[in-house]
Amino acid sequence: MKSTVSFLKAVSLAAAAATAIPADGCGPYAPIIPTPEFFALDEPQQTAALREREENLQLWQAQTSADIPLSDIEEAVYGDTRGEFRHKVYGDDSPSGNRFYTWLRNTDDYETECFLSVAKDLEERRRAMTSPWYYPQTRGYESETGDFDELIRECRDYRGERFKDRYALQTSRALFAARRYAECIAFTDSAFSSVADGNLMKRMALRYAAGCLRRLGRAERSDSLFAMTGDIWSVCDTAPAEYMARLNPCAPQLTDYIRGHAADTAFMLRMVPLAERLLNDRRVVNKGDWHFLLAYVRNEYCGDAARARREALRAAGQSFSSDELRDLARAYRMKFDAAAGHAGKLLADLRWMERKARALCPDATEWIRRCRNIVYAHWTPRLWRSGDYSTAILLCAYADNLAPSIERQTIWEHYYDGGGWSGSVLGSVTVDEMRRSETYPNTVDYGCLSFQLAGSLTHRQLAAAYARISADGSALYAFLRRKARTDRDYYYELIGTLALREEDYRQAVNYLSKVSEHYVRTMNLDKGGYLSREVFNPDSPHRPGSAPRAKLDFARRMLAYRRTMTAAGAGADERGLARLMYAIGRRNSFEDCWALTQYWRGWVGVFEPSLQYWYDSFAPTNYAFLYYYDPETDSAATEALYRSEVRAALDMLATDEARAKAHYILGNLKTVVRRYPGTTTADFVRTSCDRWKAWI
């Protein structure tokens, strides 16, 4: 029968704790530095097609009504089939909420209705012919070309001016589909000879003519037409970018093509002389594109940050081929400002970037990632090295919380069912609800980089940083505080914990006593039972329920032990036993009861897994200051100090009674009975179990 007495086995504490409590707390987890693209483009050809589509929609808006949303025009022009279009225009049903159809029915714009019917008919015939299931309807039915004569004739018979270029484009498309290549070339050259080169219909028609030329073996003129229309992806020249730059240097597709090859180092280095040449070309108006390209290549592939920053600054005052590229160039310039510590434009830049990260913006997620990249990869290490901890923490917290606070999060409960890890949904809450809840886990404020930063300071440094975070009246701080936690409970709980880590128990009591109990109950450390172990006797059963004041109670007891062990009026036994309890408390507060001094303990290391282009030395170089209690080296040091202090405490004891009590505390029951048999402690051991000799 095992003894009912609770005792401490100093050597086996870690194993006991590991079986009782999971190995991870409420964070912080590995800080993730997003790696969004600032220049590269994944699908440049698709982007060019979308740009062309947007241009066409805007042209339709100009040719109908500026009050019609582009989305309604897109549904009618690109989305609906010919049958759906005709039903919505001519059907007996009342029109849908689409304002394009409403406009057509109310204005009886027969010209627009006829054109779209013809264009959709042609598109459906072309799609049917290119289908692998296509077969001619009858023997001799225009062989393999389909019957496009009627459509070609209808398009050529148009005599109006409003859609003249649109009907000409449809004629070119129909001739191409009918494989009447020579006729398509001749018609396109004639029909668009007097139309400006910038006309969208002309550019699209010339691509069909270029395709005909390619099929007829006239590659040279085919390439020149593809270049003129911006279709660099169809150019067969061995160096398409250089070819395009000679014939059509202002085409936005040229920049898109290069962005699509941004991962090719050799290709990008080859673009440097091309960009420099285009910057001196009077025909080029979008010089911002090329300054941006030079900034990107010189920074990413040449490692010349100084020259790259100069190019980024030059780009800011130039025109770009697209608003998207202008925005990316500005964001990329922010990386250089951060690396150099130039904060003059920081507030304006953050305000601008926050507008782009609003919930209703289509690319909001990527802009949040770009902001975090700039802050985490550049600003934070720079500010930390300069000792500006308050700005580093506040700016980092701003980036951590840039996502809209109304965003709901699905909370999962994870458990081990014997065969593996399973889970179930606990609920869906907002960030603010999660913060206030005593039920849901809070991974928002503790699983973020700003919390790791704050937890990597001394308690005095963090107290000073918090004082500035709370009181600084600058416009920048006021802006950042909107997205950051600045409440006293959040900071005082952490400052008190840092004081525990530093063994400054007086200050730990000072700060922890000012933290509300409700706040402590919202922390994962409390919800998960991480603070329920008795630090001076971890082998005892856990306290019933939670222990929201565990840190404060521990600080007070350690402060009392320290006073006793150093008190001049105390006896040797009293001081020695106090020193022993102090050594046990200190050791366990870093090991078995690690939640007293830490917020995270597990197997995921800092900056793991490695992310995309972050080189191996990034974390050791830039974030070596992050607090991390190493389970090997730090634990070994803790154990060594513990054993040294235990020996010193035992040496201080003057009586057998005190020595017996000390060994009892350490779990050395055999030593108690054999060495100090006449003590009250030995009597207690002998009478606490009917077969004590079998287990000591």
pLDDT in tens, 208-217: 999 999 999 9
Q: Residue 364 falls within a domain, yes or no?
A: no
pLDDT at 441 over 90: no
3-state secondary structure 295-353: HHHHHHCCCCHHHHHHHHHHHHCCCCCCHHHHHHHHHHHHHHHHHHCCCCCHHHHHHHH
- pLDDT tier at 419, thresholds 50, 70, 90: low
Domain of residue 499: give its range: 10-31+379-654
- pLDDT tier at 695, thresholds 50, 70, 90: low
Find out whether 431 and 444 touch, Cβ atoms under 8 Å: yes
pLDDT at 334 over 60: yes
Instruction: Report the sign of the C-alpha dihedral through residues 57, 61, 62, 67, in that order.
Output: negative
Tens of pLDDT, residues 59-76: 999 999 999 999 999 999
pLDDT at 131 over 60: no
Q: Residue 613 falls within a domain, yes or no?
A: yes
Q: For the chain, what percentages of helix, strand and coil (3-state, to nearest 5) are there? A: 60, 5, 35
List Cβ neighbours of 331 (8 Å cut-off, separation of 6 or more).
38, 353, 367, 370, 374
- pLDDT tier at 604, thresholds 50, 70, 90: low
- The dihedrals phi and psi of 428, each to the nearest 5 degrees, come to -130, 120
- pLDDT tier at 146, thresholds 50, 70, 90: low
- Which tokens belong to 696? 């000591």
pLDDT value, residue 2: 36
Q: Residue 647 falls within a domain, yes or no?
A: yes
- Which tokens belong to 592? 């078995």
pLDDT at 21 over 50: no
- Report how far residue 320's alpha carbon sits from residue 330's, in angstroms, rounded to the nearest whole number: 11
- pLDDT tier at 15, thresholds 50, 70, 90: very low
Q: Which of 321-325, 358-362, 449-453 has the lowest mean pLDDT?
A: 358-362
DSSP sequence for 75-135: IIIIIS-HHHHHHHHHSSSPP-S-HHHHHHHHHT-HHHHHHHHHHHHHHHHHHHHHSTT--
Q: Residue 610 falls within a domain, yes or no?
A: yes
pLDDT value, residue 50: 87
Q: Residue 611 falls within a domain, yes or no?
A: yes
pLDDT value, residue 546: 57
Q: Residue 531 falls within a domain, yes or no?
A: yes
Find out whether 129 and 90 touch, Cβ atoms under 8 Å: no
- The dihedrals phi and psi of 81, each to the nearest 5 degrees, come to -75, 170
Find out whether 325 and 288 touch, Cβ atoms under 8 Å: yes
Q: Residue 354 falls within a domain, yes or no?
A: no
- Report how far residue 674's alpha carbon sits from residue 692's, in angstroms, rounded to the nearest whole number: 13
pTM of the model as a whole: 0.84
- Mean pLDDT, range 306-317, rounded to an integer: 95
- pLDDT tier at 570, thresholds 50, 70, 90: confident
- pLDDT tier at 16, thresholds 50, 70, 90: very low
* Total of domains in the chain: 1
Ramachandran region, residue 27 (left: φ > 0; alpha: ψ -120 to 50; beta: rest) = left
Ramachandran region, residue 416 (left: φ > 0; alpha: ψ -120 to 50; beta: rest) = beta
pLDDT value, residue 393: 97
Greatest Cα pair distance, the chain, in angstroms, is 122
pLDDT at 577 over 80: yes
pLDDT at 49 over 90: no
pLDDT at 225 over 50: yes
Inter-axis angle of helices 656-665 and 680-687, nearest 10: 40
Other Cβ atoms less than 10 A from the Cβ of 689: the count is 17
E strands, 71-165, in order: none
Q: Residue 661 falls within a domain, yes or no?
A: no
- Mean pLDDT, range 187-210, rounded to an integer: 95
- Mean pLDDT, range 294-300, rounded to an integer: 97
- Mean pLDDT, range 258-263, rounded to an integer: 95
Beta bridge partners of 369: none
Q: Which of 64-68, 147-151, 364-368, 441-445 has the lowest mean pLDDT?
A: 441-445
pLDDT value, residue 359: 75
- Mean pLDDT, range 161-180, rounded to an integer: 95
Tens of pLDDT, residues 65-111: 999 999 999 999 999 999 999 999 988 776 678 999 999 999 999 99
- The dihedrals phi and psi of 430, each to the nearest 5 degrees, come to -80, 170
